[in-house]
Amino acid sequence: MDIALIALLTFLATMVGTLTGFGTSTIMVPVMVSFFPLSQTLFFVGIIHWFGDIWKMALFREGLRWTLILKFGVPGILATVLGGLLVFRIAEALMSRVLGAALLAYVGLVFVKGRFKVPETTATAVVSGALYGFSAGIFGIGGAVRGAFLSAFDLPKSVYIATAGAIGLAIDSGRVATCWWEGAQLSTRLRWGLLLFIPLSFIGAKAAERIVERIPQRRFRTVIAGFLCLVALKLLLFPFAGQ
C-alpha cells in the first residue's frame, strides 16, 4: 500500500510542482517521512525533484531564456550559501513565520494590484536572484521563494516554468549529489519503485502541461499566487520549528 500511495503522491506532487514551479517537496516530504527515515526521504524526493526539473525544461523548452536563467540563477545560487551561513543563528519558528508573512504580503499585492510588474532588466534580474538565493538559504524553502520572485516579472507561462526548472536543476543536482556523498541510500523497495515513480513523474508533468495550456496568460500569475497563499498559511500556522 505504501508503494501505491507513493506512486499517487509522485504523480500529484509533480503535476503541482510543474504547474506552479514549486511545491513538490512541500507535498511529498511530510507524507514520505511516515514510511521512511528522513535521510531516505530527502534523497528520494531529491531524485523525483531532479527529474521534475528535467520535465519542466523539456515540456516548456520554448520558454528557455538562458540569459534570464544566468542573470537570475547564478546570483541566486551564490547567495544561497550566504543565507545558509546565517540560518543557524535564527530561530526556525520565527524564520517560518517571517517567510509566511512575506509570501502572504506578496499574494495580497498580486490580488489587489494584479497588473504590477517588476521590469525584466539585467539589474532587476541580478538583484532579484540574489534576494531569492539569500532568503532561500535562510528559510530553506527555495521553490516558493523563487516562484514569488519570478512571478513578479509577470513572465509568459512557458518562460516562468522553464526558468524555474533550469534553476531548480542546478540546485537539485547539488542536493542529490550531497545526499549520495553523505551515504544516503534508498531501500530496495524505493530503488525498484523508481522504475514506476520516474515515468509517473513525467505523466504528472505532462498533465500539468495540459492544464497550463488552458490557463489564460492574464490569469496565470493569479494561479501561482493562490498556491503561494497556501504555502504562506502553512508556514504561519504550522511553522517547522523542531522538524
Per-residue pLDDT of the chain (243 residues; tens, 9 = 90+): 588 899 999 999 999 999 999 888 888 988 888 888 888 888 999 999 999 999 999 999 999 999 999 999 999 888 887 776 665 566 667 777 888 888 898 899 888 876 778 888 899 999 988 888 887 777 667 788 888 889 989 999 999 999 999 998 988 888 888 888 888 889 898 999 999 999 999 999 999 999 999 999 988 999 999 999 998 898 888 775 433
Strands (E), the chain: none
Strands (E), 34-81: none
Cell 497556501 belongs to which residue?
230
- Residue extents of the structural domains in the chain: 2-237
DSSP 238: S
What pTM was computed for the model?
A: 0.86
Position 207 scores a pLDDT of: 97
Position 29 scores a pLDDT of: 85
Position 243 scores a pLDDT of: 37
Please give the Cα distance from 2 to 6 (Å, whole number). 6
Please give the Cα distance from 86 to 145 (Å, whole number). 17
**CB-facing half-sphere around the CA of 158: CA atoms within 13 A:** 10
Position 42 scores a pLDDT of: 86
Position 213 scores a pLDDT of: 94
Position 89 scores a pLDDT of: 60
Amino acid letter at 200?
L
Please give the Cα distance from 85 to 87 (Å, whole number). 6
